[in-house]
A and B are shown apart, each in its own frame.
Chain A
């Protein structure tokens, strides 16, 4: 569906006509608005990290013990996957800006594949934990289980935060598919790429959140440390 652009005209007190600036071209406004949205994301995850820090302060040894049981290899692979996906998304945006639309689309597909790989690995991790009885409202995390209380808090927060992060990854994949559709419809072009810019920003904040999630959960109990934090 295409629409012919009809400029809106405003007339001043002397009868002179002026074309009203279309908001569609307000690149900085679009970027600023998206940053405001991202601050709400930071607030949400920031609050979760503060809860985590509070629980950690109450049960330091339980947190170290629980962290030591997580699979650091899989967590590390996922860290690298997200890192490379941030690069592919950024390079795709660069390609779009210089007019290489085909290259930009390839980079979006590469990012989508990396995002799926991240989810698959996360799925393996969660499955292994579930098989050990560690999952929300399941076996070890129930009130009557003998698992130390601090570890229950740790794993409760772990599943909540990595689950919410994974949900953001799924939304990101949806946004990238939508972006591809918009590029194919020539609604996103080298001249009008604010949507691409903002989805790349979204992907960066998803990566940014993981930059803190990974060390807090996976590395806290690494190296056999005993409460030295």
Chain B
């Protein structure tokens, strides 16, 4: 059972500190493509997003100190990574219908011609 024995002012101050951190990171999101890591824009943006997500999860979602849910989350991520990134990733790498697929081999429409879909055998 959760208890209400909280120090309101202390907790509120924590919320404001996290808000300032998130606002600063949002500002960094905007200046980053013009100032640093410009050749690795995607990686920089995702890194900032992960830091923001960590702040939200730990402080706004109160996961700090909650070992059970943290481990559940870690396990879920492991499952997602295993099944999506590895199994499906390998499957995509060995995709049999690369030549027939719209996605891997986009159709290029020509004037006055509406492309037809090839059927994969």
Contacts and interface: CB of A to CB of B under 8 A. Distances in A.
Interface of A: 25-28, 31-32, 35-36, 39, 42-43, 46-47, 50, 54-55, 58-59, 72, 76, 79-80, 83-84, 86-87, 90-91, 94-95, 97-99, 143-146, 149-150, 153, 190-191, 193-194, 197, 201, 204-205, 207-208, 211-212, 214-216, 219-220, 222-223, 225, 228-229
A219 B34 CA distance: 11
B53 A145 contact: no
Contacts of A229: 40-43
Contacts of B6: 94, 97-98
B109 A228 contact: no
Contact of A80 (B1, B23, B41): B23
B120 interface: no
A35 B85 contact: no
B34 to A, nearest CB: 5
5 contacts: A27-B2, A35-B72, A54-B92, A76-B30, A219-B30
A197 B48 CA distance: 27
B60 A90 contact: yes
Interface of B: 1-2, 4, 6, 8, 11-12, 15-16, 19, 22-23, 26, 29-30, 32-34, 38-43, 45-46, 48-49, 52-53, 56-57, 60-61, 68-69, 72-73, 76, 80, 84-85, 88, 92, 102-104, 106-109, 114-115
A4 B30 CA distance: 56
Q: Is the interface of B mostly helix, strand, loop or mixed?
A: helix
Given A94-B12, A144-B115, A228-B39, A47 B4 contact: no
Task: List 5 A-B pairs, minimum CB-CB distance, nearest first.
Answer: A223-B33, A229-B42, A149-B106, A228-B39, A215-B45
A47 B84 contact: yes
A208 B34 CA distance: 25
Contacts of B23: 80, 83
Contacts of A59: 106
Nearest to B117: A143
B84 to A, nearest CB: 5
B56 A208 contact: yes
Contact of B15 (A42, A91, A145, A194): A91
Contact of B68 (A32, A95, A194, A197): A32
A193 B45 CA distance: 36
Given A145-B109, A149-B106, A219 B2 contact: no
Contacts of B38: 223, 225, 228
A79 B8 CA distance: 27
